[in-house]
């Protein structure tokens, strides 16, 4: 990846935000971290990231509803959206896929695999 890429992370966990920041900074990738849907949608009104990572369980909404809100924005209808969650069952992966996400990261996210996975979703590998 190069330093022209931007990731939007929507996750209310400051530890997850910090880990993403450290890993992406190391690879020269820009990150905007939002803790909730309103701040993410405010950012998206003015910006078009290359990929969006959304926590399924957010304090004021959920990742499934947020994915749909993003898809309703014309400039983001083809932007890859990846779900992430620490709470999963055997149905979670199929639920995520059936909901229209382009991929998923189960927590704890492996920092050493993060960039490679984002590249894979972006078809850059």
> What pLDDT sits at residue 2?
45
Spans of all domains in the chain:
6-121
pTM for the model stands at: 0.94
Q: Give pLDDT tens digits for 14-43.
A: 999 999 999 999 999 999 999 999 999 999
The span from the first CA to the last CA of the chain, in angstroms, equals 9
CA proximity to 115, closest of 29, 45, 18, 10: 29
* CATH number of this structure's domain 6-121: 3.40.50.2300
């Amino acid at each position: 990846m190069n330093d022209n890429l931007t990731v939007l992370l929507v996750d209310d966990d400051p530890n997850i935000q910090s880990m993403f920041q450290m890993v992406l900074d190391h690879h020269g990738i820009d990150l905007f971290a939002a803790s909730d849907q309103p701040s993410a949608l405010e950012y998206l009104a003015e910006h078009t990231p290359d990929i969006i990572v959304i926590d399924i369980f957010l304090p004021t909404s959920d990742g499934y509803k947020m994915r749909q809100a993003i898809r309703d924005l014309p400039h983001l209808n083809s932007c890859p959206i990846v779900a992430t969650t620490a709470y999963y069952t055997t149905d979670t992966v199929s639920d995520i896929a059936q909901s229209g996400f382009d991929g998923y990261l189960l927590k704890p996210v492996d920092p050493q695999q993060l960039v490679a996975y984002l590249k894979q979703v972006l078809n850059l590998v």
